[in-house]
Amino acid sequence: MFCKEQVAQLRDYIPRVHEAGAELIVIGNGTAEQAQWFVEDTGLDVPLYTDPSLQVYDAVEARRGVLSSMNWGTISAALRTFRRGFRQNRTMGAAFQQGGVFVITPGGDMPYRYVSGHAGDHPDPAEPVRAIEQFAATAQSS
C-alpha cells in the first residue's frame, strides 16, 4: 500500500520531470509477474524495473529489516495511507525492504538522495523534482 501511495504522489510531477528532460523510473523487488500486476493495478505509466536480488537497494544503502518495517513511524504512515484510500494487497517482493527516492544524473552524480527511514516514509515529491529542474537548468547554462 505504501508503494501505491508513493506512485500516486509522484504521478502529478511526471510532466515536470519530462519537461526537464528526465525520466521517472520505479524499481521494485518482486518478480516480473508481480511488477506487471503493479503496473496494471496502479496504472503506472513510467518505466518499472524489478530487482529481486536487492542489489540496487544495497547500492543506494536502503534500509532493510524488521525494525525499519514495524515501528511507530510505520504505524502512523499506515493510518495516513489507509485514510487516503490505499489498501494492502498481498505482500510481494521483500517484505522488509524499504525504498527511497534518488535523482541520478547521466554522469552518475546524485544531487538528491532520500532513504526511507521506515515503511511509508516518503519525501515531499516536489523535493526530487526541484533537484531535477535545478540540474537541468545548470546543464543548459553550461
Domain count, the chain: 1
CATH number of the domain enclosing 60: 3.40.30.10
pTM of the model: 0.78
> What was the pLDDT predicted at 115?
93
Q: Which residues of the chain have pLDDT under 70?
A: 1, 69, 74-75, 77-78, 87
- Residue whose grid cell is 515503511: 119
Q: Which domain holds residue 104?
A: 2-141
DSSP state of 124: -
